[in-house]
């Protein structure tokens, strides 16, 4: 498959105001790539756009849970950017808690953000992507789309579904000008777990301890992860691991598909403990 020249068109990034989305935007702007950035945080999005000046950047404040708003934003982007060659979906959040600690509303909120927001923006922009001579969609999944840990049911649920969506869409678009790939990051120091949500039933001090334990396991620099995600988009890769932990877990799950948790349980025990009171 032909290498994708991102400089020849516009890259759309969701979740662009912070974390991986912002890092990817910075790297692409420094190369002169035109950008359309989406996020629900208007203030942070405006600050990033100012930072990226004089790059060609449009910003679109949208809640990805709102389908009508997503499709309206896609129309605006297509009108302002005649050649959209890449979509990179970085928007997402986290949720701590066991199944009996979480409410249905809390779990639906997370899947609305992580899964349905990804599906919605992809569907809305697909006609514009098809109009380009060549285009690629990169969905950020997670290492937890490969292995499902205890204490992360709604997150794993959504990310496994993003993986399935990406693979099924890649097969649907086979033979077209649009390719699709999923990226599986692990241990990227973006702060997502520290700024994510937790079940209201959990003591905030306990949730903070669990989040800090998870964050302490993250080792990959966001700039390095961003470079790898961009490279995967340019190469139109179907499957990309980011971080040493992702590669190890990928192998572990292949070798022990029904027993991998035995190896993962101990290193994750503090990160999934949302019950033991803080001393």
Catalytic residues: 155
- Residue 178: CB atoms within 10 A of its CB come to 21
Q: What is the distance between the alpha carbons of residues 93 and 111, in angstroms, rounded to a whole number?
A: 9
- Residue 229: CB atoms within 10 A of its CB come to 26
Query: Exposed, middle or buried, 238 (CB in 10 Å: 0-12/13-18/19+)?
Result: middle
Question: Which DSSP state fits 54?
Answer: T
Compute the Cα dihedral for 48, 165, 231, 188 and give only its sign: positive
Which residues fall within 8 angstroms of residue 99, CB to CB, at 6 or more apart? 153
Report, in angstroms and rounded to the nearest whole number, the Rg of the chain calculated over CA atoms: 18
Of 237, 272, 257, the residue nearest 97 (C-alpha): 272
State whether residue 160 is helix, strand or coil.
helix
Beta carbons of 252 and 195 less than 8 angstroms apart: no
User: How far is the CA of 21 from the CAs of 136, 141, 255, 264, in angstroms?
Assistant: 16, 13, 32, 28
φ, ψ for residue 181 (rounded to 5)? -145, 160
Q: Is the peptide bond before 54 cis (omega within 30 degrees of 0)?
A: yes
Which residues fall within 8 angstroms of residue 273, CB to CB, at 6 or more apart? 151, 206, 209, 210, 213
């Amino acid at each position: 498959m032909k290498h994708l020249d991102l400089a020849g068109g516009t890259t759309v990034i969701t979740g662009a105001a912070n974390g991986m989305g912002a890092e990817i935007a910075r790297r692409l702007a420094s190369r002169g790539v035109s950008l359309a950035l989406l996020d629900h945080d208007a203030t942070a999005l405006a600050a990033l756009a100012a930072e990226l000046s004089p790059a060609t950047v449009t910003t679109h404040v949208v809640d990805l849970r709102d389908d009508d708003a997503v499709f309206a934003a896609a129309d605006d982007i297509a009108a302002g950017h005649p050649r959209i060659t890449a979509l990179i979906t970085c928007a997402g959040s986290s949720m701590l808690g066991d199944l009996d600690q979480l409410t249905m509303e809390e779990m639906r909120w997370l899947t609305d953000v992580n899964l349905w927001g990804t599906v919605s923006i992809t569907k809305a922009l697909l006609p514009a992507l098809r109009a380009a001579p060549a285009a690629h969609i990169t969905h950020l999944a997670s290492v937890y789309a490969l292995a499902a840990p205890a204490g992360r049911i709604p997150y794993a649920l959504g990310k496994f579904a993003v993986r399935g969506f990406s693979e099924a869409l890649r097969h649907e678009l086979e033979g077209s000008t649009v390719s699709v790939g999923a990226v599986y990051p692990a241990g990227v120091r973006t702060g997502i777990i520290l700024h994510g949500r937790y079940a209201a039933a959990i003591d905030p001090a306990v949730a903070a301890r669990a989040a800090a334990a998870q964050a302490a396991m993250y080792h990959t620099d966001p700039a390095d992860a961003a470079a790898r995600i961009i490279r995967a988009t340019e190469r139109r890769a179907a499957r990309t691991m980011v971080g040493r932990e992702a590669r190890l877990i990928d192998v572990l799950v292949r070798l022990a598909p029904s027993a991998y948790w035995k190896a993962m349980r101990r290193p994750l025990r503090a990160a999934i403990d949302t019950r033991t009171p803080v001393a």
